[in-house]
Structure 1
């Protein structure tokens, strides 16, 4: 039986984390790259959220959120939103999708946007670890969800019409719950994009990138990619090219 290739398998590794500033006071981020968010470390009296520091618009991105076995409570959510998306409220609510600034899937299997919900998938089993994958396609304007490697289908459309920057978000009402980022991938939306990633892989620093005799816009993109790759905490001189150029 043929196996299905993972989302954006022909792209490259990406590098972003949960924000250490754009978050609820009831969220603690930790890990070597702030990849893990701990919600309500002591007890919960509301809904806490955290924003990822990746702008999604007009790109293709895939990321996974690994949930610890503590899956329970009013709402644990995974999705995207603008900078106007709330990060905390002293109430137990479905915070992602409470208005037109965010889109989210709750652990109870409901999609939320604009304050209304739609059944989408079966509720997640409580007290059981699971992994949620999100595939954002800024060209098509869609957000697709995966659960434990299985595609659940396209959840939201029309996202490419947003005039605001969009970011990954998660939130939880449940005490002592953790969500960890994994399998960050970025798709190549053009040959230029693919070339910039490949060139940056073979450079040692942003300074070296700035010294390239290339057009300023192309050089800017390579410098930005060097910065992104250095955030992976991997020495670039020892990296293999993360993208195929064939």
Structure 2
């Protein structure tokens, strides 16, 4: 637990910000996004007839990522979930189910404290208090192949392992069966992948417009590498 907390703090202190958002196209029709950065997902804005999910637009594989989801006070219902999954994970079903972790394509934690993967569940932590806002943090280590959850800044321990063996791209996921619930992205950080990556982030911190990259006195391959950065 101490090691996990240390890794989390190192990433917050020494990593770099990410600007990924909820994917406005890769979601259930029962999810609406809002905010300048599409950071808030509104589940079942009117009423709920099933389970709705949404995917983040950040590929997690191979890197170390930490992100937080601020959950509104409306915590209730059959299932509100936070996790990860591939493009094969379903994002909508006309039934009240634990959709993240229903099969081998996703891994999730429900607000009832249960971990789900491949249709199986196990107790992981205490159920969340209903109608009390909370912050759920997730630390994905693509090198070690682990996913760790945090609740209001406190590590709950490693939830899943073996994720380094997943070949398909893995993305952040969230879902809810409850009407008029909201989940808002908060802190998003990642670790540096190399010295070159660290230099890229330093360069980007001094650039205000992407067009400026084209005028840098650097080889075209390096300019392309800078443009590809998801971390600025």
TM over 0.5: yes
- Cα distance in 2 for partners of 1:221, 1:142 equals 27
| Structure 1 residues 7 and 84: alpha-carbon distance in aligned structure 2, compared to 1, 3 A threshold | farther
- Cα distance in 1 for partners of 2:218, 2:161 equals 37
Q: How many Å apart are 1:12 and its aligned residue?
A: 1.1
Contact 2:201/2:231 (<8 A) preserved: no
- Cα distance in 1 for partners of 2:38, 2:176 equals 17
Contact 2:146/2:163 (<8 A) preserved: yes
SS at match of 1:198: helix
Aligned to 1:95: 99
Q: Is 1:223 aligned with 2:212?
A: no
Aligned to 1:36: 40
SS at match of 1:69: coil
SS at match of 2:104: coil
| Structure 1 residues 217 and 158: alpha-carbon distance in aligned structure 2, compared to 1, 3 A threshold | farther
Contact 1:103/1:112 (<8 A) preserved: yes
Report the RMSD for the aligned CA atoms in angstroms: 1.6
Aligned to 1:242: none
| Aligned pairs (5 A) from 1:41-190 | 41-190=45-194
- Count of residue correspondences: 226
Q: How many Å apart are 1:191 and its aligned residue?
A: 1.2
Q: How many Å apart are 1:21 and its aligned residue?
A: 0.6
- Cα distance in 2 for partners of 1:175, 1:6 equals 35
TM (normalized to structure 1)? 0.88
Aligned to 1:214: 218
TM (normalized to structure 2)? 0.93
- Cα distance in 2 for partners of 1:216, 1:112 equals 45
